[in-house]
Amino acid sequence: MSSQKIIIDTDPGQDDAIGILLALASPEELDLLGIVTVAGNVPLELTSRNALMLCELAKKPETKVFAGCSRPLVRPLVTAEHVHGKTGLDGADLPDPTTSLQKQHGVDWTIETLLSAEDNSITICCFAPLTNVAMAMIKAPEILPKINRIVMMGGGYFEGGNITPTAEFNIYVDPHAANTVLRCGRPIVMMPLDVTHKALMQRKWLEGLRDLGSAVGDAAYGMMSFYERFDLEKYGSSGGPLHDPTVIAYLLKPELFEGRYVNVEIEIHSELTMGMTVVDWWNVTDRQPNVTYNNQINADGFFQLILDRLSLL
Ligand code: RIB
Ligand code: CA
């Protein structure tokens, strides 16, 4: 299978970090053109710094990292230090980055990269609020035919929300951007809470990370151990859900997932349900399907894939 050209849009974030490491560990299948950061879990300067540190941790300092938007399209920025810690990568004691961000704005680089590509040739992997992707589409709609598909972590329906009772964080932070992206007409694959809440980290897996005996394994173990505490307290579950790496796992092994092609719309008017992903799962409206909405995962296969690939770094 020829390698898939991808752009990762991200707000690291410990779970983003595992997704980035998984992508960097899979150069046979994934041609990572660049990473674009956005404000989300923590402010932009931190998500950008974190992305640089992760590429160096993976011994891929040549990876291009671009800073994108510092706030949502319309609403004020909401961050999640209560989950990810002050740095966004609490739990890993990573050295300061020695590499620098690219000079170009992430949205402009995304537009330039897409416009110079073949039609249907680049997959955009979204681990974060969709501000950058929406901004690129608004600024240069001619990029749309270049996008092969958008694979995004976000949303939730049967599971409800994780930042409000009805909204998942990535959508809630920038619901207007999500609304723009979901209406863009290009193929969209969603990894919502309905699937990520079935990917709960087990102690044995975490210990497998530690037993890799590498800088990557140690950092991943530290980050995940810190990161899962919030969800363990909140959900009382047997492990914390691992969200963003599902996007990359879908590119590597789509057979790990199951879902349905349905209509998904975003609430952008009611403050009570702002950012809710309204999923027509039972096809009760005449709204056209626009999203492959995943709700099943082979969790054992997912976690084994991550462990196997991270052992290569
Ligand atoms: O709701 C989970 C999502 O919000 C993940 O992308 C996590 O990193 C946070 O950004
Ligand atoms: Ca994220």
Task: List, for residues 75-93, the tens digit of each pLDDT value.
Answer: 999 999 988 899 999 999 8
pLDDT at 2 over 80: no
Q: Which residues line ligand 1 (CB under 6 A)?
A: 11, 13, 15-16, 40-41, 127-128, 153, 162, 168-170, 243-244
- Structural domains in the chain (count): 1
Strand 257-262 and strand 291-297: the pairing is antiparallel
Q: Which pLDDT band, with edges at 50, 70 and 90, does 120 fall under? A: very high
* Residue 40 CA, ligand 2 centroid: distance in Å: 7
Q: Residues for the chain: how many in total?
A: 313
Residues with active-site annotation: 243
Indicate the residue type of 181: V
CA distance 22 to 39: 22
Does this model's pTM top 0.75? My answer is yes
Give 3's DSSP letter.
Answer: P
67 alpha carbon to ligand 1 midpoint, in Å? Answer: 18
DSSP state, residue 2: P
Residue 128 CA to ligand 1 center (angstroms) comes to: 6
Nearest ligand, measured from the Cα of 84: 1
145: domain CATH number is: 3.90.245.10
- Angle formed by the axes of helices 215-235 and 14-24, nearest 10°: 140
pLDDT, one tens digit per residue, over 208-265 is 999 999 999 999 999 999 887 777 777 776 788 999 999 999 999 999 999 999 999 9
Residue 238 pLDDT = 74
Q: Which region holds residue 251: left if phi is over 0, alpha if psi is between -120 and 50, else beta? A: alpha
pLDDT at 266 over 90: yes
Q: What is the extent of the structural domain holding 180? A: 4-310
